[in-house]
Structure 1
Amino acid sequence: MSTPPPSHAPTSDPPSAADRRPGHDGPLGWLRALDPRGRRAFAGAFGGYALDSYDYFTLPLSMVALAAYFGLDSGQTGLFTTVTLAVSAVGGAVAGVVADRVGRVRALMITVLTYAVFTVACGFAPTYETLLVFRALQGLGFGGEWAVGAILVAEYAGARHRGRTLGAVQSSWAVGWALAAIVYTLVFSFVGDDLAWRVMFWTGALPALLMVWMRRRVHDAPEAAAARERSAGRGSFAAIFKPGTGGEPGLLRTTVFAGLLSTGVQGGYYTLATWVPTYLKTERGLSVVGTGSYLAFLISGAFIGYLTGGHLTDRLGRRRNIWLFALLSAICILAYADIPDGADTLLLVLGFPLGFCMSAIFSGFGSYLSELYPTAVRGTGQGFTYNTGRAVGAVFPTLVGFLADGWGVGGALVFGAVGYGLAALALLGLPETRGRELV
Structure 2
Amino acid sequence: MEPFKSLDSVKLNFNHIKIWYTSGMGFFTDAYDLFIIGAILDIFNAYHLPGFTLTPLYEGLLASSAIFTAIIGQLVFGVLGDLIGRKTVYGVEASLLTAGAALSAFAPNVLWLIIFRSIMGIGIGGDYPISATIMSEYANVKDRGKLVALVFANQGIGSLVAVAVGAISAFTLPPDLAWRVMAFVGAIPAATVIYLRRKVPETPRYSALKGDTNNVEKSVEFVAKDTPKTEVRRVRIQRKSVSEFFSKYWLLLLGTAGTWFILDIAFYGTGIYSGPIVSSVLGKPASVGQEIVYAGIPFMVGFFGYFTAVALMDKLGRKPIQTLGFVMMAVLYGVVALLAVAKGAKLEGFLIPSTQAFALYALSYFFIDFGPNTTTFVIPSEVYPTSYRTTGHGISAAAGKTGAAITTFYFPTLLSSLGIKGILEMLAVISVVGAVLTLIAVKEPKLKSLEEVSQDSVVLEQSQETK
Q: Identify whether the pair has TM-score above 0.5, normalized to the shorter chain.
A: yes
Name the amino acid aligned to 1:160.
Answer: K
**Could you say which residue in structure 1 is the equivalent of 2:275?**
277
Question: After the TM superposition, which residues 24-423 of structure 1 pair with which residues of structure 2 at under 5 Å, given as runs?
Answer: 33-67=11-45, 68-69=48-49, 70-72=52-54, 76-207=58-189, 209-215=191-197, 218-221=200-203, 223-230=204-211, 238=242, 242-243=246-247, 250-281=248-279, 284-286=283-285, 287-295=287-295, 297-336=297-336, 340=349, 343=353, 345-346=355-356, 349-350=359-360, 352-361=362-371, 362-408=373-419, 411-423=422-434
Contact 2:328 2:367 survives alignment (8 Å): yes
Q: Structure 1: how far apart are the matches of 2:410 and 2:280?
A: 18
Q: 1:413 to 1:84 in 2, by over 3 A?
A: farther
Q: Structure 1: how far apart are the matches of 2:87 and 2:189?
A: 15
1:287-313 deviation line (CA, Å, top 9, x unaligned): 344345445542332222112223444
Q: 1:107 to 1:420 in 2, by over 3 A?
A: farther
1:99-131 deviation line (CA, Å, top 9, x unaligned): 224433453411111122112222333333333
Q: Structure 2: how far apart are the matches of 1:418 and 1:184?
A: 33
Question: After the TM superposition, which residues 427-438 of structure 1 pair with which residues of structure 2 at under 5 Å, given as runs?
Answer: 427=438, 428-438=440-450
Could you tell me how far 1:185 is from its partner in structure 2? 0.9
Q: 1:131 to 1:18 in 2, by over 3 A?
A: closer
Q: Structure 2: how far apart are the matches of 1:73 and 1:430?
A: 41
Could you tell me how far 1:383 is from its partner in structure 2? 1.1
Could you tell me how far 1:369 is from its partner in structure 2? 0.7
Contact 2:28 2:159 survives alignment (8 Å): yes
> Structure 2 stretches of 5 or more lacking a match?
212-236, 341-348, 452-467
Contact 1:16 1:158 survives alignment (8 Å): no
**Could you say which residue in structure 1 is the equivalent of 2:227?**
none
Q: 1:312 to 1:207 in 2, by over 3 A?
A: closer
> Structure 1 stretches of 5 or more lacking a match?
1-12, 22-32, 244-249
Q: 1:294 to 1:351 in 2, by over 3 A?
A: farther
For the residue of structure 1 that corresponds to 2:40, the secondary structure is helix
**Could you say which residue in structure 2 is the equivalent of 1:5?**
none
Could you tell me how far 1:328 is from its partner in structure 2? 0.7
Q: 1:375 to 1:354 in 2, by over 3 A?
A: same
Which range moved further: 198-207 or 366-375? Answer: 198-207
Could you tell me how far 1:173 is from its partner in structure 2? 0.1
1:74-96 deviation line (CA, Å, top 9, x unaligned): 56423333332222111111111
Larger RCO: 1 or 2 (CA < 8 Å, sep 6+):
1
Contact 1:371 1:436 survives alignment (8 Å): no
Name the amino acid aligned to 1:398.
Answer: F
Q: 1:396 to 1:422 in 2, by over 3 A?
A: farther
Could you tell me how far 1:367 is from its partner in structure 2? 3.1
1:2-48 deviation line (CA, Å, top 9, x unaligned): xxxxxxxxxxx9x9788778xxxxxxxxxxx3333222101111223
Contact 2:26 2:94 survives alignment (8 Å): yes
Q: Structure 2: how far apart are the matches of 1:53 and 1:409?
A: 23
Could you tell me how far 1:326 is from its partner in structure 2? 0.4
Q: 1:413 to 1:195 in 2, by over 3 A?
A: farther
Name the amino acid aligned to 2:266.
Answer: G
Contact 1:272 1:416 survives alignment (8 Å): no
How many equivalent residue pairs? Answer: 406
1:314-373 deviation line (CA, Å, top 9, x unaligned): 333322221111011122234456563794542564365222111112222333112221
For the residue of structure 2 that corresponds to 1:285, the secondary structure is coil
Q: Structure 2: how far apart are the matches of 1:201 and 1:190?
A: 16
Q: 1:393 to 1:419 in 2, by over 3 A?
A: farther
Q: Structure 2: how far apart are the matches of 1:399 and 1:192?
A: 30
Name the amino acid aligned to 1:346.
Answer: Q
1:176-217 deviation line (CA, Å, top 9, x unaligned): 111111111111112222332222212233135413551475
Contact 1:163 1:363 survives alignment (8 Å): no
Q: Structure 2: how far apart are the matches of 1:106 and 1:39?
A: 21
Contact 1:120 1:201 survives alignment (8 Å): yes
Could you tell me how far 1:421 is from its partner in structure 2? 2.9
RMSD: 3.1
Contact 1:263 1:393 survives alignment (8 Å): yes
Which range moved further: 156-165 or 111-120? Answer: 156-165
Contact 2:153 2:306 survives alignment (8 Å): yes
Q: Structure 1: how far apart are the matches of 2:9 and 2:268?
A: 39
For the residue of structure 2 that corresponds to 1:307, the secondary structure is helix
Q: Structure 1: how far apart are the matches of 2:57 and 2:334?
A: 22
